[in-house]
Amino acid sequence: MSESRTVTRSMLHAFLAALIRSKPGLAGAVILTIFVLAALLAPVLGLPDPVKGDLLARLKPPTISLSGFGAHPLGTDQLGRDILSRIIYGGRVTLMIAALSVLTGGVFGVVIGLISGFFGGWVDRVLMRVVDMQLSVPLTILALLIIASLGPALHNLVMVLALTSWVQYARVVRGQVLAVKSREYIQSARAIAAHPLRIIFHHVLPNVMTPAIVVLTLELARIILLEAGLSFLGLGIQPPDAAWGRMLAEGRTFMSTAWWLSVFPGVAIMLTVLSVNLLGDWLRDYFDPHLEG
């Protein structure tokens, strides 16, 4: 018991050491941590109300400078709301939706991938045809269609985004299962007539998790963009709540008179997606023994 804990700890140690050695990976991790912390701590940061605006302080340019933050560091929007505060609160919404969707899609996709790869035969064929079908449908159009008919609500959004993402996991996990299935330890588990579910969860799953985690990071970036896109089209979060895509859309009409309305949310989206991608790339390299050294 204590021995395995020591092993886990040293693995974690090696992981972190490797992360710190990798400059892009570290940068990604740091930026993402800042965004996540800001989102989690938003209520205690003493920010102005993100929803309540001051009509007399509309479209005020950013006040941030070398001498300090000023009243509205990133300016105010067309209703006099503080943009920094809206970006941070919007980040809560965006990141929460992205995390929930990625997890929902991930769990579903991994399970499907495990079943498909492990049992093979007609189960595999049917499930993989479903995956092919799903892949043949343009995902943005599918999301638009579902949201337009069900109405834009948080749970619908999560469901739709999860739906567009599970196939990636299913395919990667299935391939990995096929590779693992013929290994000796699986054969011996079968030989002692272990229950298939036990084999799947105890012996197969731990060995297919690393590629799934890599897919997860890449999907996270894609989902943040898709959510921003849906919000931009007015099918995401309903006003007055902030979401980055929505802020971008609202700021669009003011591009020529007040650039800060859409530029800062755009930067937030870009930084988040970039950091998640950097982290994902590093994770893939880290877990892939062929690329080491």
Partner 1 sequence: MKFHARPSSTSHLAMLRTAFAASVALVALSASAEAASLTIGLSSSVNSLDPAQAQVVQTDLSTISELYSSLVTRGPDMKLKGDLAESWAAVDDNTWSFKLKPGIKFPNGEALDAAAVKWNFDRVKSPDTKARNKLWFDPIKSIEVVSPTEIRFITDKPYPALPAQLSMFYLLAPKWTETHNPILEAMGTGPYDLVSATPGDRIVLKAKKDYYGAKPAYDDVTLRIIPEAAARMAAVEAKEVDLAFDIPVADVARLNKENGLAAGWIDSSRMMVLKINTLKAPLDKQAEVRQALNYAVDKKAIADAIYAGASTVSACQLVSPQYFGFNPDLKAYPYDPEKAKQLLKAAGVSGKLDVELEVPLGRYLAASDLAQIIGQQLSEVGINAKIHEMEFGAWAKKYAGGDLGNMALTGQAWPTLDADGLLSLYDSSNPTSYFKNADFDAALAKARSTTDVNARLEQYKIATKIMCEQAPDLFLFSQPTTYTHSKGVTWQARGDEWVRASDVTPAK
Please give the residue ranges that form the binding site for partner 1 (CB under 8 A). Answer: 51-53, 55, 58-59, 78-80, 148, 151-152, 234, 238-240, 250, 252-258
Residue 55 or 66: the one with the smaller Cβ distance to partner 1 is 55
Name the nearest CA neighbour of 221 among 276, 139, 280, 153: 276
- Compute CA distances 117 → 176, 195, 198, whole Å: 8, 16, 15
Residue 81 or 203: the one with the smaller Cβ distance to partner 1 is 81
CB of 112 to partner 1, least distance (A): 34
Residue 21 or 52: the one with the smaller Cβ distance to partner 1 is 52
CB of 253 to partner 1, least distance (A): 5
CB of 257 to partner 1, least distance (A): 5
**Strand (E) or helix (H) holding 98:** helix 83-119
CB of 47 to partner 1, least distance (A): 17
Q: For the chain, what's the residue count?
A: 293
CB of 90 to partner 1, least distance (A): 14
Residue 54 or 281: the one with the smaller Cβ distance to partner 1 is 54
Q: Extract the tokens encoding 186.
A: 């699986």
Q: Give the span between the Cα atoms of 246 and 242, in whole angstroms.
A: 7
Residue 206 or 239: the one with the smaller Cβ distance to partner 1 is 239
Residue 120 or 234: the one with the smaller Cβ distance to partner 1 is 234
58: alpha, beta or left? (left if phi > 0; alpha if psi -120 to 50)? beta
CB of 280 to partner 1, least distance (A): 33
